[in-house]
Structure 1
Amino acid sequence: MLFINLKTIKSAAFGLFIILSACISSCGNSQSGKKKRELISFKPYNGINYSEVSRRQRNGLSFNEYGYQLEPQWKLKFVSDDSISIFSPTKNAFINFPLTRGYDSIFNAARSWLKVRKINKDSITMEILIQQGDSLDVKGTKVFMRFYADNYIKNVLHTDTSILRHPSSKDTSFIRSLSAKANADYTKAFAARQPAIITSKSPLVTVSRRTTKPDILNNFDNSDDYLDPTYDIVIKNAFKDFYYSFTMYIDDKGNLYYGIPLVGFNGDEEREADYIHTSKAVIESYFKFYLNVKPGTTLGMIHSSTVSVHVEGKAKTAAK
């Protein structure tokens, strides 16, 4: 559930912009005498190519304690006050999205709600917002996206986005601390930015990793797959037919440890205990003998992490 919430921060639900407009209107014309703030206009910045160079929390970190990385990825260009062009790495092309301007400096584009904190022809700072039902949390997530104009990067900073997007030394220190804790106690594992890799070393076992298909629902971005790396494993000539789903810890040495089942038992404790016992046996009797395991890493540091596994056993069929 936590990972779902984190993804929500990155891609807020798309829908009609409903934010109690009547209340906003009355607030703008209240007895305090304050003028209603006009909608932001992007006209002065139309046609400028901007690249995201950082995405950080208020504490300055781009990682959190669960290993989730706020990765700068966007490239954008305002086309008009109701249209924006955003680059898709998957499509390797800019895709035009409708842009809906809301209250003050808030706008919606590419299934995301954003608030402009600062904008000029050289840079933009925006805060990510979250839509909750029919309303928008205008207090913000305290996650900030920083963009520089491509011309500014090239001709003023004399660098490129790949360098500007490097994690900070503060991020490195933070991940080093998390890794030390996770390697001392594998149950303190966190998501590896380069997930653990599982491969087969037997012709009787096949291993495949699931990937999310990039589409419009995820802004053509499946980069969050590392949060829950999921493997399908098929074992031929097993002692019986079976199918189990569970998580595993993989420590910094590549050792495997049982996590939790990924099925429900409706309070049947006996069935749950039997399921855990037999699925643990699959790790001990098959995985540790027939799988190669490479631990996950983040910023080049090896550390304990978790994976989800769906394993199917196919019993040997007697020859006729």
Structure 2
Amino acid sequence: MTKTCSWHVLPLAALLLGSCSSGAGGDKAGAGTEETKKITGRTPFDPVIGIKYYEVKRRFSTGLSFNELGFQQEPSWIIRFKSRDTVEAYSPQYDRMQSFYLHYDHGDVYNFAKEWFRIKKVTKDSLVFQRLHLTAREISKDVRSDVNLTWYAEDYISKVLKTSVEKLQEPTRADTLYIRKLAEKTNRNPDNRDSAFGARQPVEFIPVSKLIKVARISSVDKLLGKTEAYDYLFPRYRIDIAKAYADFGYDFSAVVDAKGRMHLGTFHTNFPENQEPRKKTLTAIIEVYLTHLLEVVPGKTLGIPHSSEINLSVTGRKNSK
């Protein structure tokens, strides 16, 4: 069985908006409050205590692993109910199972490992939980709680299905068809930011001249809730150009289409009258420097090239050696 799993859940809302808040009551929940109930009676997990489960799929309510932004739900949890009030989850940081207190809130809502779940199915072969996002003590009714996680028991995978965790975790044919449909849409509007989407294999720049250097800049900031997914949804690059026509430094975005062509995206100016001159300058930087000094490999998802938006910090130095 794989040991590359993480016990962190990465739904789009958590990725974009940070950690969940606490709450309780009605269609609410209360992690860490006096309203969170101790488990004293029989629980749905009693019959499955001691069974190790591997997460094999994580889906939106559409049944897909991807959404229109290109964000991919990736199954990663390994869990085992150790006792009536304790759950073990695999931590890649420590390369072992770690124990978490199992909190019961109300109805079928539970909390462990700093995440909220609605229990939808519990059998000795499989588990299905809905991941819940809380805002101001309320369970969100939007995409932030639109995530279903499915686990299979270790013995069920090896002895009944006779397959591997890695095979079960692979994207489906439906995922491929969906990405192909999104890619075809970007091909009809290759420079359109609205149809571009995040590439799981982000744009790659290969310098063809010693006058230019490129570095990927990570956007991961766990304290701000920015997970590893930020690096493919919002890829950022630093580009340094030597022997430029003048000293300059600009931050802007660009849409890179399926053929590797770059189109100016968004940029900021302090004064409206600078909008058009700045646009001309940035377009010239793309066409004169970036297009000729770089080989641009378009972003891909499931091996399918498509338009994706990237963020650039471009610096030029006139007197660089």
- Structure-2-length-normalised TM-score: 0.81
Number of residues of Structure 1 aligned to a counterpart in Structure 2: 298
Letter in 2 for 1:72: P
Gaps of 5+ in 2: 1-9, 30-40
**Offset of residue 98 of structure 1:** 4.0
One of 249, 256, 260 as aligned partner of 1:243: 249
Structure 1 stretch displaced more, 292-301 or 309-318: 309-318
Maintained 8 Å contact 1:12/1:113 = no
One of 275, 279, 299 as aligned partner of 2:278: 275
Gaps of 5+ in 1: 25-37
Structure 1 stretch displaced more, 309-318 or 162-171: 309-318
Please state if 1:147 is matched with 2:151: yes
**Offset of residue 9 of structure 1:** 6.8
Structure 1 stretch displaced more, 198-207 or 247-256: 198-207
Q: 1:15 to 1:276 in 2, by over 3 A?
A: same
Letter in 1 for 2:163: T
One of 154, 159, 166 as aligned partner of 2:163: 159
Maintained 8 Å contact 1:77/1:84 = yes
How far apart, CA to CA, are the structure 2 residues paired with 1:8 and 1:85? 22
3-state secondary structure, aligned to 1:54 = strand
**Offset of residue 79 of structure 1:** 3.0
One of 7, 13, 25 as aligned partner of 2:19: 13
- Runs ≥4 in structure 1, deviation > 6 angstroms? 9-12, 21-24
- Structure-1-length-normalised TM-score: 0.81
How far apart, CA to CA, are the structure 2 residues paired with 1:269 and 1:216? 35
Q: 1:145 to 1:271 in 2, by over 3 A?
A: same
Post-superposition Cα deviations, 1:276-309, rounded to whole Å, max 9, x if no partner, equal 2222221112101111211111112121212111
CA RMSD of aligned residues (A): 3.1
2:33 corresponds in structure 1 to none
Maintained 8 Å contact 1:205/1:290 = yes
3-state secondary structure, aligned to 1:238 = coil
Post-superposition Cα deviations, 1:67-97, rounded to whole Å, max 9, x if no partner, equal 1212212222233444433224465443444
Letter in 1 for 2:60: Q
How far apart, CA to CA, are the structure 1 residues paired with 2:261 and 2:225? 33
3-state secondary structure, aligned to 1:307 = strand
Please state if 1:203 is matched with 2:242: no
One of 289, 306, 309 as aligned partner of 2:309: 306
**Offset of residue 162 of structure 1:** 1.3
Maintained 8 Å contact 1:19/1:136 = no
Percent identity, aligned pairs only, is 33
